């Protein structure tokens, strides 16, 4: 699917994309374990572990300081990069290229669900855009991805009064019979509530009314515990004999928006339809239940899974001047949900990576190693692109020096969570990164042992250092996976600061003499 294109209008790209062939391989569209793993490796799911990791980091750094000097890192001297970092940051502040890319991706291509024509259009757009920016080795690595369509859907409460409830089916759910499933809706406050209900769930629609906590919102710490019900709610409900599952949308603030996302039938005795409803509706149903008022409704969903289709990861490079075979990956995921525009999840991450490379090229800053943009396909529905990449690039994996992902929004940058397969190495990497981000003028950035990203987590077993570009997540979940995840929610200046942090960090990691996390990584050039 690597097609050499002149600069095409998105209209032309769309018509090309519509003609891309579907693959008819009889592969199961989505592995349940893949989804389960997605849920547990999600940055938000792991954010709650961050504080614990940070405490570990303090202990580990203290231990590291006590090592014999022969094993300790050479004194870090990255000061020779200060001028270049300042040039990059100034250029990023003045450059609106990332913003213009985001507007094109969101307004012209639109939402990019796995397996959709829009996602195919985005694959073409990304290649054409990176070629226009003059990048090297621009290509699309083919990846087979699942295809699921939502179709028409509704939830109507019949008693105690008739009302249509804002809802979105969960990705991967089966549909209902054409005339829907009519049943009593019972709300539970979690799995203990469901257990307490016993046989009372049989034949009912179970609503998991589990709020997302506002604890440590800056890092989205409340997401993990609450999103569990989105992933596994249908299985839990089916085990209790329920006929459908509803979840309270996973968010801390709400204006009647339902939030979709992936679900799984792993371990389910049978598949039942699953949907998210607005927080307001979930609370109303729970209040009726508490007052002993029975609630009855009819759920209609036309959701369908289809045979997998071909998509692609999109790659582009700035080839290194001295060690072109060594690679620093900078990345975001090209796919999104089918509602809204996928602006903050993850259009912002996509254009942050793309524009960081463009900025370095414009400034004629070619590092010693290669910087490779990777725009992952299908993060949301099971990490298809990330899984394929480590297979197709297996021989290169040991030469991947680091991989950075931006997939937590592009609000004010906070710094980097870093993860490697060795605690000492992680601590050395975090210490080096602290010094690197300190070179970005005008920002308060940090680096800490933490989480990299869902897509780059596939490189963990190959020993690749994984870096998550963290931005303030306080408002990330307001629009996450909703109709409201649109480009107007993104602050252009904040996006440009993310580009600055990505470009400075990628440049220094690709240029400094040692490899991030190695004992002598920071040796003076
Ligand atoms: Zn994402």
Cis peptide leading into 467, omega within 30 of 0? no
Q: 452 alpha carbon to ligand 1 midpoint, in Å?
A: 12
Tell me: the pLDDT tens digits for 282-317? 999 999 999 999 999 999 999 999 999 999 999 999
Tell me: the pLDDT tens digits for 332-375? 999 999 999 999 999 999 999 999 999 999 999 999 999 999 99
- Given pLDDT bands bounded at 50, 70 and 90, which one contains residue 521? low
Contact 435, 364 (CB under 8 A): no
- Given pLDDT bands bounded at 50, 70 and 90, which one contains residue 523? low
Burial (CB count <10 Å: 0-12, 13-18, 19+), residue 6? exposed
Q: Mean pLDDT over residues 29-44, rounded?
A: 34
Q: Please give the structure tokens belonging to residue 103.
A: 């507007």
Greater confidence (494 vs 65) lies with 494
Name the residue ranges covered by the structural domains of the chain.
Answer: 10-32+79-148+307-511, 151-302
Asked whether the predicted pLDDT for residue 76 surpasses 90, the reply is no
Partners of 317 in beta bridges: 136, 372
Q: 500 alpha carbon to ligand 1 midpoint, in Å?
A: 20
Chain mean pLDDT for the chain: 88
User: What is the torsion angle, in degrees rounded to the nearest 10, for the CA atoms of residue 132, residue 134, residue 135 and residue 140?
Assistant: 30
Asked whether the predicted pLDDT for residue 39 surpasses 70, the reply is no
Q: 467 alpha carbon to ligand 1 midpoint, in Å?
A: 15
Find tokens 């490796």 and name the residue.
41
Q: 486 alpha carbon to ligand 1 midpoint, in Å?
A: 14
CA distance 201 to 204: 5
Give the model's pLDDT for residue 466: 98
Q: Of the residues 379, 380, 405, 431, which is catalytic? A: 379
- Given pLDDT bands bounded at 50, 70 and 90, which one contains residue 67? very low
- Given pLDDT bands bounded at 50, 70 and 90, which one contains residue 273? very high
Q: 226 alpha carbon to ligand 1 midpoint, in Å?
A: 17
Asked whether the predicted pLDDT for residue 31 surpasses 70, the reply is no
Give the model's pLDDT for residue 518: 87
Give the model's pLDDT for residue 77: 73
- Given pLDDT bands bounded at 50, 70 and 90, which one contains residue 33? very low
Give the model's pLDDT for residue 114: 98
Task: Report which DSSP code applies to 219.
Answer: G
Give the model's pLDDT for residue 421: 94
- What is the distance of C-alpha 104 from the center of its chain? 20
Fold of the domain built from segment(s) 10-32+79-148+307-511: Aminopeptidase (3.40.630)
Q: What is the 3-class SS of 118-148, one letter each residue?
A: HHHHHHHHHHHHHHHCCCEEEEEEEEEEEEE
Q: 431 alpha carbon to ligand 1 midpoint, in Å?
A: 27
494 belongs to the catalytic site: no
Residues 6 or more apart whose CB falls under 8 angstroms from that of 6 comprise none
Q: 379 alpha carbon to ligand 1 midpoint, in Å?
A: 7
Q: 335 alpha carbon to ligand 1 midpoint, in Å?
A: 8
CA distance 26 to 28: 6
CB atoms within 10 A of CB 494: 17
CA distance 387 to 311: 13
Contact 310, 1 (CB under 8 A): yes
CB atoms within 10 A of CB 364: 6
Task: Report which DSSP code applies to 109.
Answer: I
- Give the pTM: 0.86
Say how many CA atoms lie within 13 Å of 207 toward its Cβ: 30
Q: Mean pLDDT over residues 220-236, rounded?
A: 96
CA distance 458 to 476: 24
Q: 392 alpha carbon to ligand 1 midpoint, in Å?
A: 22
3-state secondary structure of 325: strand
Q: 112 alpha carbon to ligand 1 midpoint, in Å?
A: 12
Asked whether the predicted pLDDT for residue 328 surpasses 70, the reply is yes
Q: 293 alpha carbon to ligand 1 midpoint, in Å?
A: 39
Q: Mean pLDDT over residues 98-123, rounded?
A: 98
Asked whether the predicted pLDDT for residue 30 surpasses 50, the reply is no
Greater confidence (455 vs 53) lies with 455
3-state secondary structure of 24: coil
Give the model's pLDDT for residue 264: 97
CA distance 121 to 93: 29
May I ask the CATH architecture of the domain 151-302? 3-Layer(bba) Sandwich (3.50)
CA distance 274 to 32: 15
Task: Report which DSSP code applies to 200.
Answer: G
- What is the distance of C-alpha 138 from the center of its chain? 23
Q: Mean pLDDT over residues 213-237, rounded?
A: 95
Q: Please give the structure tokens belonging to residue 453.
A: 């990203």
Give the model's pLDDT for residue 306: 98
Asked whether the predicted pLDDT for residue 32 surpasses 80, the reply is no
Contact 471, 439 (CB under 8 A): no
Assign residue 15 a region (left: φ > 0; alpha: ψ between -120 and 50; beta: otherwise): alpha
Give the model's pLDDT for residue 467: 98
Burial (CB count <10 Å: 0-12, 13-18, 19+), residue 384? buried
Tell me: the pLDDT tens digits for 424-451? 999 999 999 999 999 999 999 999 999 9
Greater confidence (236 vs 14) lies with 236
- Given pLDDT bands bounded at 50, 70 and 90, which one contains residue 187? very high
Q: 377 alpha carbon to ligand 1 midpoint, in Å?
A: 11
């Amino acid at each position: 699917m690597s097609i050499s294109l002149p600069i095409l209008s998105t209209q032309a790209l769309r018509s090309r994309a519509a003609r891309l062939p579907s693959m008819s391989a009889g592969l199961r569209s989505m592995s349940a374990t893949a989804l389960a793993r997605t849920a547990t490796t999600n940055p938000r799911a792991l954010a709650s572990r961050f504080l614990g990791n940070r405490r570990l980091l303090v202990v580990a750094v203290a231990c590291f300081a006590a090592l014999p000097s022969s094993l300790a890192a050479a004194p870090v001297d990255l000061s020779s990069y200060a001028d270049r970092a300042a040039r990059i940051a100034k250029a990023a502040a003045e450059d609106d290229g990332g913003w213009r890319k985001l507007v094109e991706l969101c307004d012209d291509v639109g939402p990019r669900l796995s397996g959709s024509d829009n996602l195919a259009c985005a694959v073409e757009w990304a290649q054409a855009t990176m070629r226009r920016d003059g990048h090297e080795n621009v290509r699309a690595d083919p990846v087979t991805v699942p295809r699921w369509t939502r179709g028409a859907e509704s939830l109507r409460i019949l008693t105690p009064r008739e009302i249509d409830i804002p809802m979105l089916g969960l990705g991967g759910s089966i549909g209902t019979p054409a005339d829907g499933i009519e049943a009593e809706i019972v709300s539970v406050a979690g799995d203990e509530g469901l257990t307490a209900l016993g046989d009372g769930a049989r034949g009912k629609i179970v609503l998991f009314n589990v709020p997302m906590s506002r604890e440590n919102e800056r890092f989205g710490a409340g997401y993990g515990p609450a999103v569990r019900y989105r992933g596994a709610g249908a299985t839990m409900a089916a085990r209790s004999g329920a006929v459908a599952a509803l979840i309270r949308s996973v968010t801390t603030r709400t204006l009647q928006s339902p939030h979709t996302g992936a679900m799984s039938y792993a371990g389910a005795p049978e598949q039942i339809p699953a949907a998210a409803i607005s927080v307001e509706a979930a609370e109303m149903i729970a209040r009726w239940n508490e007052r002993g008022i029975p609630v009855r409704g009819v759920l209609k969903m036309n959701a369908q899974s289809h045979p997998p289709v071909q998509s692609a990861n999109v790659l582009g490079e700035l080839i290194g001047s001295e060690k072109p075979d060594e690679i620093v990956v900078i990345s975001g995921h090209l796919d999104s949900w089918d509602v809204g525009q996928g602006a903050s999840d993850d259009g912002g991450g996509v254009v942050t990576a793309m524009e960081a490379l463009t900025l370095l090229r414009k400034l004629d800053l070619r590092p010693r190693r290669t910087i490779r943009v990777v725009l992952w396909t299908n993060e949301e529905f099971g990490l298809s692109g990330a899984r394929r990449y480590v297979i197709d690039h297996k021989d290169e994996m040991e030469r991947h020096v680091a991989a950075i992902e931006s997939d937590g929004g592009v609000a004010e940058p906070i710094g980097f969570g870093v993860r490697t397969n060795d605690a000492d190495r992680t601590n050395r990497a975090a210490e080096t990164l602290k010094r690197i981000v300190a070179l970005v003028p005008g920002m308060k950035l940090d680096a800490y042992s933490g989480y990299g990203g869902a897509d780059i987590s596939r490189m963990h077993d190959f020993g690749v250092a994984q870096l998550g570009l963290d931005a303030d997540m306080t408002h990330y979940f307001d629009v996450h996976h909703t109709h409201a995840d649109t480009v107007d929610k993104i602050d252009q200046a904040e996006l440009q600061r993310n580009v600055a942090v990505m470009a400075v960090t990628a440049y220094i990691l690709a240029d400094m003499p040692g490899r991030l996390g190695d004992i002598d990584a920071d040796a003076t050039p």
